[in-house]
Structure 1
Amino acid sequence: MLVLQPFLQPDLGLMMFKPGKTLLSELVKMSQGNRLIVMPLPEELVNIPSGRMNSPVIPDSSTSLVDDERLLEFFNHADVQKRLGSFKHWLEDIPHCQLSDGEYCDKNLTVLDGAVRVCWHHDNQERKSPSEKNKAIAKRNVMLWGLGTIQNQLKLDRHISLPELCWWSVINGVHEYLPRSITDESLGIKKKPEKNGLVIRRESDERFELDSKAILKGRAGAVKLIVDDEPPAMFMARPKELTWKSEKYLKFVRSLPCVVTGKTEGVVAHHLILHGEGKLGAKAHDLFTFPLTAEEHRKFHDDPKGWEAKHGSQLFYVKQSIKNALALGALI
Structure 2
Amino acid sequence: MRAILTPEVAPISGVVLFRPGNELLWLFRHGRVVIETPSEAIQHLPSGLIPEADQPLEDDASMQAIFENERVIQRAGGLNGLDSWLERKFECQWEHNDWHSRDFTVMRHAPGSIRLCWGCDNQLREQTTERLAGIARQNLVQWLLERVNIELGFNSYHTLTLPEFCWWMVRNDLADLIPESVATKALRMKPESFSSVMRESDITPSLPATEILQEKAKKIVAVKVDPETPESFMLRPKRRRWVNEKYTRWVKSQQCSCCNNPADDPHHLIGHGQGGMGTKAHDLFVIPLCRAHHDELHADPVAFEAKHGDQLTLLFRVLDRALAIGVLA
The amino acid across from 2:60 in the alignment is D
Q: Which deviates more from structure 2 when the two are superposed, residues 180-189 or residues 108-117?
A: 180-189
Residues 106 and 120 in structure 1, CA contact (< 8 A), matched pair in contact too = yes
Q: CA deviation at 1:145?
A: 0.7
Map 1:178-217; keep pairs closer than 5 Å.
178-193=178-193, 205=205, 209-213=207-211, 215-216=213-214
SS at match of 2:105: strand
Q: TM-score, normalised by structure 1?
A: 0.55
Residue 212 (structure 1) shift: 1.7
**1:258-312 per-position Cα deviation (integer Å, ceiling 9, x unaligned):** 46596754342789xxxxxxxxxxxxxx999653332133368443587469xxx
Structure 1 segment 295-314 matched on structure 2, within 5 A: 295-298=295-298, 301-304=301-304, 307=307
Instruction: Name 1:146's counterpart in structure 2.
Output: 144
Which is further off, 252-261 or 152-161? Answer: 252-261
Residue 164 (1) aligns with residue 164 (2): yes
Partner residue in 2 for 1:74: 66
Normalised to the residue count of structure 2, the TM-score between the two structures is 0.56
Which residue number in structure 2 is paired with residue 112 of structure 1? Answer: 107
> What secondary structure sits across from 1:170 in the alignment?
helix
Conserved? CA contact 2:82–2:143, under 8 Å: yes
2:85 to 90, 103, 115: 90
Unaligned runs of 5+ in 1: 5-20, 28-39, 42-47, 225-246, 272-285
Measured after TM superposition, the shift of residue 97 of structure 1 is 0.4
The one-letter amino acid paired with 2:162 is L
TM-aligned CA distance change 1:102 to 1:172, over 3 Å: same
Contact 1:249/1:287 (<8 A) preserved:
no
Note if contact 1:253-1:289 (Cα within 8 Å) is conserved in structure 2.
yes
Distance in 2 separating the partners of 1:113 and 1:194: 49
Higher RCO structure, 1 or 2 (CA under 8 Å, sep 6+): 1
- Secondary structure (helix, strand or coil) at the match of 2:159 reads coil
Q: Spell out the pairing of 1:245-284 with structure 2 (5 A cutoff).
A: 251-256=249-254, 258=256, 265-268=264-267
Structure 1 CA distance for aligned equivalents of residues 73 and 127 of structure 2: 29
C-alpha distance in 1, partners of 2:297/2:162?
Answer: 38
Q: Is the 8 A contact 2:178 2:210 kept in 1?
A: no
Cα distance change on mapping 1:23 and 1:72 into 2, 3 Å: farther
Confirm or deny: 8 A CA contact 2:266 2:288 kept in the other structure: no
Whether 2:56 is the aligned partner of 1:64: answer yes
Query: How much has 1:180 moved relative to structure 2?
Result: 3.4
Measure how far apart 1:83 and its partner are: 2.6
Structure 2: gaps (5+ residues): 6-15, 43-49, 223-243, 271-283
Distance 2:306 2:60 in 1: 50
Q: What RMSD over aligned residues (CA atoms) do the two structures have, in Å?
A: 5.0
Q: Is the 8 A contact 2:183 2:213 kept in 1?
A: no
Q: Note the alpha carbon deviations across 1:158-190, whole angstroms, 9 max, x for none.
A: 122121112212222232233332223212345
Distance 2:302 2:254 in 1: 23
Alignment of 1:206-245 (within 5 A): 209-213=207-211, 215-216=213-214, 219-222=217-220
Q: Aligned to 1:303, what secondary structure does the other structure show?
A: helix
The alpha-carbon distance between structure 1 residues 299 and 116, as it changes in their structure 2 partners (threshold 3 A), is: same
Count of paired positions: 250
Counterpart-to-counterpart distance in 2, 1:124 and 1:201:
67
Gap change, CA 1:287 and 1:133, over 3 Å in 2: closer
Quote the Cα distance in structure 2 between the aligned partners of 1:144 and 1:102: 24
Give, as a single letter, the amino acid of the residue that structure 1 aligns with 2:159: H
**Could you tell me which amino acid in structure 2 is paired with residue 95 of structure 1?**
F
* C-alpha separation in 1, matches of 2:193 and 2:269: 32
User: Is residue 270–residue 292 contact of structure 1 (8 Å, CA) maintained in 2?
Assistant: no
CA displacement 1:174-212 (0-9 Å, x = unmatched): 32233332223212345555789xxx999994xx73352
Q: Give the aligned residue type for 2:65.
A: E
